[in-house]
Amino acid sequence: MGHYRSNIRDLEFNLFEVHRIQEYLGSAPFGQVDESTAKDILREVERFSREEWADSFVEADRTPLSLVDGELALPPGLAASVQAALEAGWDRLGLPEDLGGFGVTPSLFWATQELMAGANPTALFYLSGPLFARVLFAEGTNEQRELAMLMTEKGWTGTMVLTEPDAGSDVGAATTRATKVDDLTYHLEGVKRFITGGEHDASDNIIHLVLARPEGAPPGTKGLSLFIVPKYLINQDGSLGDRNGVVATNIEKKMGIKGSSTCELTFGVDRPAVGYLVGGVHDGIRQMFAVIEHARMLIGAKSAATLSTGYLNALDYAKERVQGPDLAEATNKTAPRVAIINHPDVRRLLMLQKAYAEGLRALLTYTASIQDRAALEPGAEWDARADLLLPLVKGYSSEKAYELLAQSLQIFGGSGFTQDYPIEQYIRDAKIDSLYEGTTAIQGLDLFFRKIARDQGNTLAALSAEIGEFVKGGSDSDPLSKERDLLGDLVDDAQAHLGVLVSHLVNSVQDPAQVYKVGLHSTALLESLSEVVIAWQLLRHAEVAISADPDGEDAFYIGKVASARFFVADVAPKAAARRSAAESETGDLMDLPVEAF
């Protein structure tokens, strides 16, 4: 058996029992995929993920990548996994039909991404072409839309090229230059780093989407434009032409996802790096954000998937590993040894992992269901809610997965610290999730300043009202009445926490230093709001489970109720503590001399 443990039962529960996507499958804009087809797709992707896709997981980690004259060859098994996915068409699942895709709902697409990301995240990064094709199809000129079709047909990959050695999170400090040649054609010069998939042989061509500053453009992000820079120039008939002047000049040696080629790219050294202005407009940051938002959602899916398979691996081990007597018979020297799942603290650790793994999946699928709604009912409301949830999916999921994978390893004891089991690789592969596409602190700032303050809290208020209705929705005999009350407390604490930060923001108009207090507690606010949404979703799951299994005879549904109760009880005091910390903040930390650290 391979390393990957999927939880397709819980995915199907989320999609078809909680969000009931079958009620709008088979009708526009998802007319080509009915319920039966959707389930077939999900199950086939699950099988593929467990089998040929997961096969190269270890090889990709243990086979060092190297550049030879600016070229990089993938390990054979990894290349085979990528090719298998391309042949099956799984790279095109998220594309609309007019771009050669399946026309599936976002919720079904993100469920499949969880499966593939959990089985082999390194390989998944080489299936990026359709994402970039979709952006070009939406943003490009007519000629660039034809390039998008070509990318899909030929399986070309793409990259997101933002970061520079002195301009990481501060994207607006980028200095890569774009000199106009004619019409939409430019020559780029500069160095970018940390470019995922910047060089490889998984496809015949790589289409780089590069942020650069045209001559005479203003400083900051407003001066950045987006350019198409192909590895090989493309002839009129779609065939490959000469090598373009973009070259991988270094490959990063990393802690995890080692088989993913993370490169330094140098533009315009030995020959011009020809780039084409996307859409013929200087609107780079907005255009690139279509890629960034997808990437952030993908990282949330990867985090949830990795915690889930880590937990399920630990669960299997706990059922098999015999060690020590039952605690109730610890003084009996002749007591039989038991599987460690019978030990209280092991059960605590397992339920901790189970509740959060299911919680992160619930957050992901709920957000994806809102994306479904945005497609079904076009308008600002659902788009705004999806935007509000995105930093929760990316920021909270990445932090909690990394934290709790350490508890998955703990179940294995010393064996987990070895490469005999996949947990140590899961941990190394997962750490990047809280770092790229915006660190957790940036997600917290984005949540507060862009998604709440700029919106004047309207989108959050609508979500809070919906959660409030759920809190009040139980009957006198409701088996979840205690948990509804705890959810109500959670909402109150999160709202009070938010209120404190809004007060600091208002006060900063007269006293700019007050904004530091916001920065000191915005990540904590992200945690509390994430836990409110997850607790709400898990209690919704528990309601569905109780209705489906009123006599409490089905182990899956029993587990769903247990997860919800455990999660709410675990997070409620944490939200209260964060509120208290925000309310008592003095800001003294910002007055501390640098030398005192």
User: Among 176, 122, 123, which Cα is nearest to 432's?
Assistant: 122
Joined together, the tokens standing for residue 12 give 């199907």
Query: What's the sign of the alpha-carbon dihedral 390, 396, 399, 404?
Result: negative
The reply to whether 146 belongs to the active site is no
Q: Evaluate whether 307 touches 353 at the Cβ level (below 8 Å).
A: yes
Joined together, the tokens standing for residue 96 give 């609309």
393 vs 43: CA distance, rounded Å? 24
CA separation, residue 375 to residues 22, 96, 326, 443 (Å): 15, 12, 54, 25
Per DSSP bridges, beta strands 232-234 and 240-243 are antiparallel
Q: Evaluate whether 54 touches 116 at the Cβ level (below 8 Å).
A: no
**Phi and psi for 172 in degrees, rounded to 5?**
-65, -15
Distance of CA 157 to the CA centre of its chain: 19
Q: Evaluate whether 290 touches 138 at the Cβ level (below 8 Å).
A: yes
The two most distant CA atoms of the chain are separated, in Å, by 87
83 vs 19: CA distance, rounded Å? 33
HSE-CB of 242 using CA atoms within 13 angstroms: 7
Could you give the residue ranges of the DSSP H alpha helices within 52-105? 57-62, 76-88
Question: Exposed, middle or buried by CB within 10 Å (0-12, 13-18, 19+), for 509?
Answer: exposed
- What are residue 225's DSSP bridge partners? 212
DSSP letter string, 308-371: HHHHHHHHHHHHH-EEEE-GGGTT-TTPPEEEGGGSHHHHHHHHHHHHHHHHHHHHHHHHHHHH
303 vs 120: CA distance, rounded Å? 12
252 vs 399: CA distance, rounded Å? 23
359 vs 353: CA distance, rounded Å? 10
- What are residue 452's DSSP bridge partners? none
Spell out the SS3 assignment of 319-332. HHCEEEECHHHCCC
Peptide bond into 512 cis (omega under 30): no
User: Among 424, 415, 411, which Cα is nearest to 345's?
Assistant: 411
Q: Which of 437, 483, 527, 543 is catalytic?
A: 437
Joined together, the tokens standing for residue 387 give 């935007």
DSSP state of 450: I
DSSP letter string, 127-184: G-HHHHHHHHHHHS-HHHHHHHHHHHHHT-EEEEE--BTTBSS-GGG---EEEEEETT
Please give the positions annotated as active site. Answer: 437
